[in-house]
Homo-oligomer: A and B are copies of this chain.
């Protein structure tokens, strides 16, 4: 392991950002000055930020640093997509404790750079410093959109269709799988998944047939493809979010901000067969996983019912319900009470936004 002190802060930043080339014409000046200089002329600038902390958002016992770098970028890009925008630049803040070496940061940066290439975005700044404990990742993503194209959370209207992309619950089940195998992992004295699977065939076997779930958890992708497909199809969603905390939680945000209710149909929820099989094996309710599992980074959006014909031909887009008029309980005028799940059999049930309270 090469100690980071060998480079020093400036040397390290130079080392990690050497040979960076800009892909975006809007990047006028990237790393190397007090601030980056961007030209978003004629378009709106979008900005979002995420903080990822070791022990809270990720566990390096089974998350390879390269995947973590990729995912850190993807989750921010996903937020720009959820505004119907195009991601353009990121800044990367890193706090690293003494247990990390230069090679570790190179791995992390390799993942960050792979994601930047995939999404066609530029690294334009950052801050790398020592930390007392663990790994801290702070990423800010900028994007652009035409004013008329921006989709907020508050535009859903009664009778709008409610759609999600991909499938739900897979990332959560991938996490359950990793957590279950963590004890076995620990015995192998590995420091990342790659090395562990290399040396331990029995673990490899346990993941066979579940690779998709692992990938959903370890290396999610933002749905820039859907944003492009919607644009080509001439559909502008009325409201949109990415599914990071779980479908129920995101529906609460959209319904609260749009002042509407919703009916979601259980049999319309898109679920992957690997996810269903693992839920069965682990005695988990797959519908609960689909409703409340986080980190899928799929898109949840509402759109006008007149767009139905344009929606149907789209790959990987599923209509799961529709928007209803809001009903409020007395004294709770800020939160609609009628967010409902319509089961295959039986009466409608209220959706509960479990979400994810890291402070609990």
Residue numbers of A with Cβ under 8 A of B are: 3-5, 7-10, 12, 28-29, 32-51, 53-57, 79-80, 82-83, 85, 89, 91, 93-95, 124-127, 129-134, 136, 138, 140-143, 145, 147, 150, 152-153, 240-242, 257, 355-360
Contact = CB atoms under 8 A, between A and B. Distances in A.
Interface centre among A8, A83, A131 (most CB of B within 10 A): A131
Chain copies in the assembled complex = 2
Given A49-B140, A359-B5, A57 B93 contact: no
A130 B85 contact: no
B359 A33 contact: no
A10 B249 CA distance: 10
B47 A91 contact: yes
Nearest to A353: B10
25 contacts: A5-B357, A5-B360, A8-B359, A9-B356, A10-B355, A33-B153, A34-B48, A34-B80, A34-B83, A34-B241, A35-B46, A35-B79, A37-B46, A37-B145, A38-B44, A45-B142, A47-B91, A47-B140, A49-B127, A53-B130, A53-B132, A54-B132, A130-B358, A132-B133, A140-B140
Nearest to A145: B37
Contacts of A89: 47
Contact of A127 (B29, B50, B83): B50
Contacts of A83: 33-35, 37
A153 B35 CA distance: 11
A82 B359 contact: no
A9 B252 CA distance: 14
Given A45-B45, A48-B125, A150 B37 contact: yes
B45 A39 contact: yes
A79 B36 CA distance: 10
